[in-house]
Homo-oligomer: A and B are copies of this chain.
Amino acid sequence: MSQVDMVNKEFLGLGPEVSGLKKKLLETAGLVEKSVRLSGDLFLGKSVSEGLIKEIFQIEALVNSAHKDIDQECMRILAMAPVASDLRKIMAALKVNGDLERISDQSVNVAQNYDKLDGHMNASQAFQIRKMSEITNLMICSALDALGSGDVDKAKKVIEMDDSLDTLNSQAFRNAIDGIKEDSSQAELGITLILIARNFERIGDHATNISEEVIFTTTGEDIRHAGGN
């Protein structure tokens, strides 16, 4: 998703009467997407981590502020007694707003832990984290695309992708433990890898939540907790 693509789309099916909400959600989604991308870029071997980390923190402050504004705007719209179909969309907007805010928190967590990893990972560890970051990025882009277009198939694909992220997360956990058992001086590195892998896995969960909202808003089907989560 690029913000340009999104502007002409009916984000969550929200019509022009709620253009303020739509605009704010769009902006926030764009920020959050960027935040996740930057948290992944940290692992691309670029030598600009300081700037990236600073930007992730700056984005979080903007997202936190938008989180409150969007909640308030939803309440203002709800006070105008929207029709039932719009009501469902506003409810979805409220929940997506919460997910966006938490995704940004997870990116910050990755950034906070990054300095413990920088330069210490072996090739296999770096590959694993990059792979998780790539899938996470793809899930977020696709979920936000689906949010813009109401594309249920795309939303379902995001949910499917979550399984591979869970598998990678479990692998990262096992590999880190094995690594630490071989060389206990690697304890901090291994644990940091586990925590960062969990951050990416958590971002994937939020992309799944957003996709479930797209499916609910578009089809009326509430598929949350279908996997017992």
Interface residues of A, Cβ cutoff 8 Å to B: 60-61, 64-65, 67-68, 71-72, 74-75, 78-79, 81, 84, 87-88, 91, 94-95, 98, 105, 173, 176-177, 180-185, 187-188, 190-191, 194, 222, 224-225, 228-229
Residues of B within 8 A of A94 (CB): 91, 94
Q: Is the CB of A61 within 8 A of B228?
A: yes
Give me the 8 closest cross-chain CB pairs, A-B, nearest first: A184-B184, A81-B81, A64-B225, A180-B187, A177-B187, A181-B184, A181-B187, A79-B84
* A-B residue pairs in contact (CB < 8 Å), sample of 5: A60-B228, A78-B91, A180-B180, A184-B184, A190-B191
- CA A71 to CA B216, docked complex, whole Å: 12
- CA A229 to CA B79, docked complex, whole Å: 29
Q: Is the CB of B68 within 8 A of A224?
A: yes
- CA A201 to CA B105, docked complex, whole Å: 15
- CA A176 to CA B187, docked complex, whole Å: 9
- CA A68 to CA B221, docked complex, whole Å: 11
- CA A188 to CA B194, docked complex, whole Å: 12
Q: Is the CB of A225 within 8 A of B75?
A: no
Residues of B within 8 A of A98 (CB): 95, 98
